[in-house]
Amino acid sequence: MVNITHKNNTLRKAMAEAVLSVSSQETIDAIVNNSVPKGNVFEMSKTAGLFAAKKTSDVIPDCHPIPIEYTSIQFEIRDLEIYITSEIHTIYKTGVEVEAMHSASVVALTMYDMLKPIDKNIEIRNIRLIEKKGGKSDLKDSGVGINASVIVCSDSIFAGKKEDKAGKAIISALEKNLVSIDDYIIIPDEIVEIQSKINFYVQNGISLVMITGGTGLSKRDVTPEAVRPLLEREIPGVAEAIRNYGQLRTPYSMLSRSIAGMIGETLVIALPGSTKGAEESMDAIFPGILHIYKIINEGKH
């Protein structure tokens, strides 16, 4: 199965359709009048569709078991065709389009099974996804036109005793979001040095300043103390999202002192210094964080 542990839980919806075609008006009348020998076709097939939605991962090998939090199955008769729609909602890390299509197809199969004694020419066709919503694919925010500078705050990396991996992971994530990299620099854990670099980038019109390192609780971790006095507007929700995402993966995330905010039109974000911490923090907030630039440029969401 595909690894989805890096994804965020979001509201996800899908609607699928299947079409059942019968050969005579008598079959339609029998369904509507509830005179089919095997029972109420709509109620029986709807029940089967509800079960199918919840059991999709049991029959489709690569589907993840997910919480099905809402299912609606509807029928519409058009001449000799019955249009079946299955709508499913969940709050989870992956979508429910296969669950919706599986549900609609099982509804159609159940109807076929119930109707075959009275109609030998039934067809099931056009099982398809009508729409899906939720997840990163719905986020239209792009890093096109945004430039970034990445600051690595680490005494040991600055001294050449360790290799930087966190800063490079941040750069890789930024590039995937189409953000252009203006500068990449390694500096020691010094308040004056950190503030000097941030001010330089702000004065030179950099859109985004990403800092990694110095957000822990050792005596040399001073990044939040350097960043906070410079911020004109702190954005607490960014740091909350980072810690919440991390807490689901390690209990040590609560010890991180990540911080984010605006200086003029420059967004400054300080992330953990570990490679994993930096990678997970980027997964937690991108691409949604890029919506800030739409707000800045248009004054609206």
- Which residues are part of the catalytic machinery? 113
- Classify residue 79 as left (phi > 0), alpha (psi -120 to 50) or beta: left
Give Cα 200 distance to the centre of its chain.
34
Name the one residue in this structure whose structure tokens are 């990445």. 150
Retrieve residue 274's tokens: 């570990």
- Rounded-to-integer distance, Cα 67 and Cα 272, Å: 32
Got the DSSP string for the chain? ----TTSPPEEEEEEEEEEEE-S-HHHHHHHHTT--TT--HHHHHHHHHHHHHHTHHHHSTTPPP----EEEEEEEEETTEEEEEEEEEEEESS--HHHHHHHHHHHHHHHHHHHTTT-S--EEEEEEEEEEE-SGGG-----TT-EEEEEEE-HHHHTTSS---HHHHHHHHHHHTTPEEEEEEEE-S-HHHHHHHHHHHHHTT-SEEEEES--SSSTT--HHHHHGGG-SEE-HHHHHHHHHHHHTT-GGGGG---EEEEETTEEEEEE-SSHHHHHHHHHHHTTGGGHHHHHHHHS--
